[in-house]
Structure 1
Amino acid sequence: MSIKINSKYLENYALGFAKKVCDQYFSSKQYMTGAEILKLTASKQVNFFVIKSLFEAWHVELEKLKSNPFFDYRDNSVHQALNEFMNVLSRSIKIDRGNFEPLLGEAVAFSVILALDPLSFFRGEIEKSSGSSVNDFLKGNEKYYKWNHSLIANLIDRAGISQSPDAYKEALRLNFEQQKEQLTRPEEYLSELKNIFHLDLDILFERISDKVEDSISEESVQTKEEVSVEEDVIAEAIVEEDVVAPAYVNDSSPEEIQETIESPEKEEEHFAEESIQNLPSQYKVAPTANLIDPLQAWEKFESEQYSVMKGSVGELSENVGINQRFMFTKELFDGNPDLMKHALKSIDKCDSFMSAITLINERYVGELNWDKNSEAVDEFLQLVFRKFDQRG
């Protein structure tokens, strides 16, 4: 049976959780250190997902360094020096609230997804290993998986599995089928979060027909046992292979998560034939094609409250919220977060709304079988509309 998740509630919950924890911590301190991250909450999974994000940021910076053509980063002495440098950095983490709070919110959201649908989550991790050894990727990231770890534990260094992602996903599926009755129930994992910030499972799983309120009621934080941390625990979290943040990917798993927020009912839109004729030929869309009509989309958003938001968005990738990131990745970009990032960068290079829609039609709508009447497409187009101040 599929699990339906209210992604808007999940986003608000993650943000509310992060705010509450940060209100408490930063009321007396200005910076968060690495050792303090690992014992920040009673949920080790949340804490370690924050660390995972930090090392992902490190590897992004490392790739920038490697792009310099004047130095040989494959040299063994350079590799060792970089590892030592990472050791030093890991013991010198220092983050202010403005930079830390979003990391914590994302860690909470990813933790909820891992608890609810571990099969889809780990399938997504395997997909993220594209371009490198799946075994090396899982081995480098294993330390970050505190929940449902048994599903991938015996896949690492396992003889007989080819290096193809499909082979690992099949082995993962077999693990899930064998272990699903013994896996920890999601409610038990989520109780760690619920004890810190109230989590209403009825709302989280409910298909919403009325608008869910953006605010989430708070409840008192229960006393938490401090997690003991060895002095060198962060240094041990250093990753020698590329680290990538977890992605919410659905590959038609038997426990598929469907993020569902019921949008207000939309009236049918009718536009005169002559209005289409005034559009430059390269932007015209055949009425029967399953493509997005750029003129119709522009006029739709112009007639709504979004008209005052034209040109209000800079870089699209910097204006995608947690909820949107889950929705767009899963429903529009075939569970591939890298494909979504590439799409946003390509749209940023367009000079008008019309050219952006043309690019979307040519590269994504047909290829990825978008439902142009879906909530995900509508929300994606709203974001694109806000990017441009002219139709084109």
Structure 2
Amino acid sequence: MESKLKEEAVSQYSSAFSDKMQSQAFQQKEKLNGQDILGLTPLKQINLFVIKELFFHWKSEVEQLKSPYFNYQAEEVKSALASFMDVVSQNILINKHHLRPLLEKATKDTLYLVLAPYDYFYLLLTHANKQSWTVSELEEILKYVRINRTLLERLLDKCRHETLHIISTERITELFNQVFEQVQEPPEDTEPYIQQLSQEVPLQTETLFSNTTTSYSSPQVNEPYITQEEPPKEEKKEEGPRTLNDYLNKSDRSTLADMHQQRKIESLSSHISVNQKFMFVRELFNNDPEAFRQILEEIDSQNTYAEAVGLIRRDFAPQYQWKMDSEEVMEFMELLSKRF
């Protein structure tokens, strides 16, 4: 199955983690300053996201300043407000009640950034209240991102070459999907960050993922949502996890052929979603996106399902030490079954 984070599970963990961090932070203090927040949790990214939320709250308040008597859009006024913000940022003072929602949101955002970076940036860029972006706004966000920065850095490079100063959200997401298809660097290893979180509140990452299959595509392409057909009710029986050998079994292959007879795909690479790409590169191909791309091309060049599976079993599975009963292998094999 494809790894898609469950919002409810992420929220539950973020709440528990925030409760503990907040309880520790306010044991001997009634309010926290900026330095306290930068050391609030063992994961620096969470602390920076709390600061980011404070900064953007401030920007929102300033943008709402209107007066029939004063021109807040004058350059000297803007400059003065920016200087004021520099002073204010050195004098943060926040109590437990006001910190709690910021900390919980920062924790949720960090979990998405670590475990599903494409999702994090995509949701950020397509925020319902945001109709357009500027390069300076994206640069401001990048200041607070320490994990999986490459996607945003590459997006910024593309945006700097755009002719318009203000870029529509639709155009931004189009550029972002182009970046994702072109980026060669693998996502960062999740384990160090999970360990840091687990030292405070135990975290098993599998509890954060759902069992649904989804795919993201650029705004111009609408791909069908495909689910695996359920077996007839009269055949109910308990079965263990499927393995690669199950897919090689003739009767299983026949069943899959019946299921997907009308849904053949022309190539694996064009039907692997962005989330799947991250997952396969990380879990099946040792964080090597170039090897992943070349292997897909080699598999696509095979003439039959049997040839493709033989290639996988003979070359790639041993080379990358696949666990044949893992969910990632099963999902990869399901995609392969739709190819031939």
Q: Same fold (TM over 0.5)?
A: yes
Counterpart amino acid of residue 145 in structure 1: V
* Cα deviation 1:14-36 (Å, max 9, x = unaligned): 11111111111111111111122
User: Which residue in 1 is equivalent to 2:31?
Assistant: 31
Paired residue total: 214
Supply the distance in 2 between the matched residues of 1:42 and 1:157 (Cα, whole angstroms): 31
User: Which residue in 1 is equivalent to 2:118?
Assistant: 119
Q: How far did 1:207 drift?
A: 4.3
User: Which residue in 2 is equivalent to 1:183?
Assistant: 187
Q: Structure 2: where are the runs of 5+ without partners?
A: 222-340
CA spacing shift, 1:69–1:117, aligned 2, 3 Å: farther
Supply the distance in 1 between the matched residues of 2:180 and 2:157 (Cα, whole angstroms): 18
User: Which residue in 2 is equivalent to 1:196?
Assistant: 200
Q: Structure 1: where are the runs of 5+ without partners?
A: 209-249, 255-392
Structure number with larger C-alpha Rg: 2
1:160-175 mapped onto 2 (5 Å cutoff) = 160-162=161-163, 163-175=167-179
Q: Is contact 1:161-1:167 (8 Å) kept?
A: no
SS in 2 for 1:5: coil
| TM-score, scaled to structure 2 | 0.56
Q: Is contact 1:126-1:134 (8 Å) kept?
A: no
Counterpart amino acid of residue 174 in structure 1: Q
User: Which residue in 1 is equivalent to 2:63?
Assistant: 63
User: Which residue in 2 is equivalent to 1:91?
Assistant: 90
| CA root-mean-square deviation | 2.9
Give the number of the structure whose residues are more often helix, by fraction: 2
Q: Is contact 2:31-2:96 (8 Å) kept?
A: yes
User: Which residue in 2 is equivalent to 1:22?
Assistant: 22
Percent sequence identity over matched residues? 32
Supply the distance in 1 between the matched residues of 2:162 and 2:193 (Cα, whole angstroms): 30
Q: How far did 1:71 drift?
A: 1.3
SS in 1 for 2:123: helix
Q: Is contact 2:114-2:147 (8 Å) kept?
A: yes
SS in 2 for 1:68: coil
Supply the distance in 2 between the matched residues of 1:61 and 1:9 (Cα, whole angstroms): 32
SS in 1 for 2:138: helix
CA spacing shift, 1:170–1:132, aligned 2, 3 Å: closer
Q: How far did 1:187 drift?
A: 3.8
Supply the distance in 2 between the matched residues of 1:252 and 1:194 (Cα, whole angstroms): 33
SS in 2 for 1:197: coil
Q: Is contact 1:127-1:165 (8 Å) kept?
A: yes
Supply the distance in 1 between the matched residues of 2:188 and 2:93 (Cα, whole angstroms): 34
* Cα deviation 1:137-156 (Å, max 9, x = unaligned): 21121101111101111332
Supply the distance in 2 between the matched residues of 1:126 and 1:81 (Cα, whole angstroms): 29
| TM-score, scaled to structure 1 | 0.49
CA spacing shift, 1:252–1:195, aligned 2, 3 Å: farther
CA spacing shift, 1:197–1:155, aligned 2, 3 Å: same
Q: Is contact 1:46-1:111 (8 Å) kept?
A: yes
User: Which residue in 1 is equivalent to 2:140?
Assistant: 140
1:232-381 mapped onto 2 (5 Å cutoff) = 252=217
Q: Is contact 2:47-2:106 (8 Å) kept?
A: yes
User: Which residue in 2 is equivalent to 1:325?
Assistant: none
CA spacing shift, 1:88–1:118, aligned 2, 3 Å: same
Q: Is contact 1:26-1:97 (8 Å) kept?
A: yes
Q: How far did 1:79 drift?
A: 0.7
Q: How far did 1:171 drift?
A: 3.3
Q: How far did 1:9 drift?
A: 2.2
Supply the distance in 1 between the matched residues of 2:130 and 2:94 (Cα, whole angstroms): 31
